[in-house]
Amino acid sequence: MTFADEGAVLLPELVALRRELHADPEVGVDLPRTQQRILDALDGLGLEITTGQSLSSVVAVLRGTKAGSGQTRPTAARPAILLRGDMDALPVVEQTGLDFASTNGAMHACGHDLHVAGLVGAAKLLSAHRDELAGDVIFMFQPGEEGDGGAEIMIEEGLLDATGTKPMAAYGIHVAPGPRGVFGTRPGTLMAGANELRITVHGQGGHGSQPHSAKDPVPALTAIATNLQAMATRRFSALDPVVVTVTQLSAGEAINVIPDSASLGATVRTLSAKSVENFAPFAKELADGIAAGFGCTAEVDFRVQYPVTVNDADSTATVMTELGQLFGPERVTEMKDPLMGSEDFSFVLNQVPGTFLFLLCSPPELDPATAAWNHSPRVLFDDAVLGDQAAALAQLAFNRLTS
């Protein structure tokens, strides 16, 4: 029996867990009900479990009991593999019409309920094979992926030292709309880094009927907002693109009053560390110059939120081969281009070589080309893939610890 077969046996149990999680989502880093469901699902597997100090994380360690080749090292020095599943939802009102849809104003619109269930499945599969593992597995159940940097917090709280030795590889799977059962990834840059840009223009307020007697920050701000787009295409290579999207504009409240200041907020997506390094000085130069032309000054705040997600080339080649052997090569594809979305598993991959990949899982009755995407209140994921998701994670860890 293969892990794929064993995953199929677990499928009903994993589907039930996923639907329970889906009906009761929690947002952010404080997820007590979700955490308890994970602890209940892992009960009896003989894992070493640690919960987070400042967030509702769960770190579960499986100790393999097989001695390695000629192994004389203590348990703390045995090789380790990290597997990750994120667990937080989004502040989205669900509109799927599912009979297990959320009604609490939040929604698992990014599939993290599947990620949790799939990782629980991997823990069950690998626990049944602990006597074949010459090493340990860290199961990382992570809150706060959707903007709170939960992975970074877990690392600060000791995630990578959970077994006594730093993991030699890390793997994670994210679901997405598309032909059901297809895995996709690529070596190198997989997903963009996410950064926050805030610019405030300071001027001098006045009466709306006498703009010449004021230093109006509003036209300065709008000029900055539109020229950020030009800057992104003129100061950065088209082969290393930067995407700037202004999502917030704020100025005065009274319609006949010129305000003292005006501000904008933008998300900035980058595909390289060099672009992140260069963006802040370029944005400040642009904002200062335009603001000065209107007799104003500019204040620029640029913050890195999530780094670029970069897959290890050797690891990813091995992952694609192994998943092709497990499920058939037709179910594994190499993505041509990176995605401009971001992922805080990047914090792990910055320290541990590994691979992040996607599992496509639109219900068969939907056209993948027009199906709602992640974060939509109408997105649908087919949990029939959960057995394969669990098997894939288990197989990757098993192969590294038995080779």
How far is Cα 50 from Cα 159, in angstroms, rounded to an integer? 9
**Residue 70 pLDDT more than 60?**
no
Report the pLDDT averaged over residues 290-294. Answer: 98
pLDDT category at 77 given cuts 50, 70, 90 is confident
236 and 197 within one domain: yes
Tally the domains of the chain.
Answer: 2
Residue 23: which residues within 8 A CB-CB, separation 6 or more? Answer: 100, 101, 102, 103
| Residue 61: pLDDT over 90 | yes
- 344 vs 397: CA distance, rounded Å: 21
Averaged pLDDT, 326-346: 96
Q: Which of 13, 133, 127 has its CA nearest to residue 71? A: 133
Contact 345, 356 (CB under 8 A): yes
End position of a domain, from candidates 273, 290, 306? 306
Sequence-distant (6+) residues with CB within 8 A of 66 are 131, 132, 133, 134, 402
Domain boundary among 264, 290, 306: 306
Nearest to 347 by CA among 151, 187, 167: 151
Same domain (yes/no): 364, 257: no
Q: How confident is the model at residue 91 (pLDDT cuts 50, 70, 90)?
A: very high
Domain encompassing residue 30 = 3-188+310-402
pLDDT over 90 percentage in the chain = 95
Q: Rounded to an integer, what distance in angstroms lies between the CA atom of residue 139 and that of residue 131? A: 18
In this model, does residue 73 exceed pLDDT 50? no
Q: Are residues 126 and 214 in the same domain?
A: no
Please indicate, yes or no, whether residues 260 and 356 belong to a single structural domain of this protein.
no
Q: Which of 266, 281, 306 is the last residue of a domain?
A: 306
pLDDT digits 0-9 by tens, 346-403: 999 999 999 999 999 999 999 988 999 999 999 999 999 999 999 999 999 999 999 7
One domain for residues 181 and 328: yes
141 and 126 part of one domain: yes
Q: Strand pairing partners for 356?
A: 172
State how far the Cα of 259 lies from the Cα of 347, in Å rounded to an integer. 41
Distance CA 385, CA 103 (A): 24
Regarding whether 336 and 253 lie in a shared domain, the answer is: no
pLDDT of residue 318 exceeding 80, the answer is yes
pLDDT digits (tens, 9 = 90+) for 201-240: 999 999 999 999 999 999 999 999 999 999 999 999 999 9
Are 235 and 252 part of one and the same domain? yes
**Averaged confidence pLDDT in the chain:** 95
pTM above 0.75, yes or no: yes
